[in-house]
Amino acid sequence: MADDKDSRRKFLARSSMVASTVDAVSGAGAASTEEPAEYAQSDYSLRTKALVSVLTRKKLVDPAAMDAVIDFYENKVGPHIGARVVARSWVDPNYRQRLLADTRAVAREDNLTGVEGTDLVAVENTPEVHNLVVCTLCSCYPWPLLGLPPTWYKDTAYRAQAVIDPRGVLRKFGLELDDDVEVRVWDSTAQVRYLVIPERPSGTEGMSVEQLAALVTRDSMIGAEKLAPHGLGDNA
């Protein structure tokens, strides 16, 4: 798993969207060219931090309120919600069928917050088909199910390359798919969000929903990785 995460940082570092660590608020100092790639921040990240700092100084933004919002998406909603949906779909064929047929209706039945106003669609990975989610215009993403989006999902390099060369992007993420596996790319919008149901890992027969949910990762629900057979310790 660690090697996989490292490969994603390298992918972003090579994307030409990596920015320097110049202090955008104070304007002090020139751009640094010596920062290790894995710590380099994207242009969007630097702009966001600069904007938040300015708005905070002007008392237009309350940092405590922002922390509360982040805590909400990290702890009250987030990947553990989507992971439980996935795990339940693995053990309950009827639930899985309904989920794939009308994801938003099932989400409402499960009292999942934040699904109103958007069309939520679940797509399933199989040995023959691998699904990958991207948002080419910005970073539309099913926050109620997956929490905060990963940095790489919002990066211009991923958004541009995922639709042009999805296999290449997945390969850079450490996921090599066989040539006979069809790759389908789903472009999220403000109206439609996608949830990938990853393949159930082998070696999980007899496990409970709670045990299965603990194996599901956020990135697997975007399609950026496959779940390894249970007991191997990381993802394929």
Count of positions (residues) in the chain: 236
Question: Is residue 175 packed enough to be buried (19+ CB in 10 Å), middle (13-18) or exposed (0-12)?
Answer: buried
Residue 15 a catalytic site member: no
Residue 73 is given by DSSP the state I
Question: Catalytic one among 42, 89, 135, 188?
Answer: 135
Is 45 in the active site?
no
Q: Which of 42, 140, 188, 220 is catalytic?
A: 140
- Yes or no: say if 143 and 70 are a contact pair by the CB < 8 Å rule: no
Answer yes or no: 138 catalytic.
yes
Tell me if residue 140 is catalytic: yes
Residue of 138, 188, 208, 220 with catalytic role? 138
CB contact at 8 A, 163 and 134: yes
Which one of 15, 45, 53, 139 is the catalytic residue?
139
Side-chain half-sphere CA neighbours of 44 within 13 A: 13
Q: Which residue has the tokens 């917050």?
A: 113
Closest residue by Cα to residue 80 from 166, 235, 209, 189: 209
Catalytic residues: 135, 138-140
